[in-house]
Amino acid sequence: MTKTAKLAGVVVGTCSTRLWGLDGAERARRILAKAGLAVVGAPPADAPALLVRADWVVDGALLGLLKAEEPGVALVATHKGTKVLLAAHVSAADAPATMAALAAPAGGAAAPAHLREIVHDPDGPPIYLHRLRKRLKPVVMPLEPTTVRAAEKATFKGSYKDVTDGVTKYLWPLPARHATRWCAERGITPNMVTLVGFALVFAAMWGFWEGLFALGLAAAWVMTFLDTVDGKLARCTLTFTRFGDVFDHGIDLISPPFWWWAWHVGCLKVGADYPLPELSLWVVLGGYVILRLQEGLFKALFGMHVHVWRRGDSLFRLIVARRNPLLVILTVAAILGQPGWGMAISAAWTAVSVLVHTVQIAQALAVRRIQPVVSWLNR
């Protein structure tokens, strides 16, 4: 294999049990492809390959670690007292025997004895996933009809960000898991879900603009729910793409200021009385931009999101003046018949959030003079 050639990835065996709409072999193929391997039907005769069995759920993070090893290493687990070969990164010479071992029933055959074994420890330390801002134990389990729901829960949990707002973290996970399964089983793609959410952005804005706050909030909350579903659907079905990521995050980034502007206009239309309406609008809009710039500055300076530095920073992420926390404020205000006061309180909370971020940046700069700034999730 040349330095520029991709490592070959081979899925061994079949598995008719489906997880997130994918049978075991197709799921394994997608994991290998997302890990940057060239998925082929058989190992090359003159180059190493990464082989993985189809009838187990093996976390992509583990396969990524296996890929980084030199050929001659096997990933194994113990199941019901029996050692099971899950995957291996092997030379061309070891591929036939390893293929045979992976194709045999779990525990029915052993890989070449000279392979170095990495034994998966279910009680071992979690892996820090920078992209999802979380620590997580890799998912490793047999894929059988009796384990599908457990595998679904585990892989869905693995797709979910730990450091996020309170609504996304505590309210959406259960319904989002069911919605993700429903979409996956019907072949609905993440971008289709994102497109519906995009349409709801305009529906919410129209409702706010016209002073129809209940209608606008209904559309807004459904949009935020779908914003959770599309990302989880992409990760669970291994269909995430650069375009989808930009499309989804672009909507998230651009839409909130337009909602707050429309809410302000709606308040004026219905004659909502509250102090300093124009100032409230500009504080919310300007504060939103400043908060985003502060987050970008922190990441540029310290190589991480501001919300994953310390545990307290992660807790503050639950309520910082982002889209969902401000929607909670506006929803409560609308229910109480005071939509204008919802805007005023949102402005005050935005100002507080900007102040907190300013303090966080100053503290991190001070700490860096003494020691490296490291995320508490990676310690």
**For residue 140, what are the β-bridge partners?**
58
Distance (Å, whole) CA 22 – CA 161: 23
Looking at 166-276, list the stretches that DSSP marks H as alpha helix, in order from N- to C-terminal side. 166, 173-185, 190-209, 213-236, 242-270
Q: Does residue 4 register a pLDDT over 60?
A: no
Q: How would you classify residue 72: left for phi > 0, otherwise alpha for psi between -120 and 50, otherwise beta?
A: left
Residues 6+ apart with CB under 8 A from 95: 43, 48, 49, 51
**Rounded mean pLDDT of 337-358?**
98
Domains and CATH numbers, the chain: 8-119 (3.90.550), 159-378 (1.20.120.1760)
Q: Is 9 in a helix, a strand, or coil?
A: strand
- The pLDDT of residue 131 is 56
Q: Does residue 229 register a pLDDT over 70?
A: yes
Q: What is the per-residue pLDDT across 309-327, written as a single tens digit (0 to 9) for each? A: 999 999 999 999 999 999 9
Handedness of CA 165, 166, 169, 174 (dihedral sign): negative
- The pLDDT of residue 3 is 47
**Rounded mean pLDDT of 137-165?**
92
- The pLDDT of residue 109 is 64
pTM of the model: 0.90
DSSP letter at 117 equals: E
- The pLDDT of residue 294 is 98
Confidence of residue 125 (pLDDT cuts 50, 70, 90): low
Q: Does residue 243 register a pLDDT over 80?
A: yes
Q: Does residue 80 register a pLDDT over 70?
A: yes
- The pLDDT of residue 291 is 98
Confidence of residue 2 (pLDDT cuts 50, 70, 90): very low
Confidence of residue 107 (pLDDT cuts 50, 70, 90): low
Distances 161 to 158, 307, 308, 323 between C-alpha atoms, Å = 8, 12, 11, 16
- The pLDDT of residue 266 is 98
Which residue did the predictor score with more confidence, 119 or 171? 171
Range 321-334 burial, b when 16+ CB lie within 10 A, else e: bbbbbbbbbbbebb
**Rounded mean pLDDT of 90-111?**
84
Contact 221, 168 (CB under 8 A): no
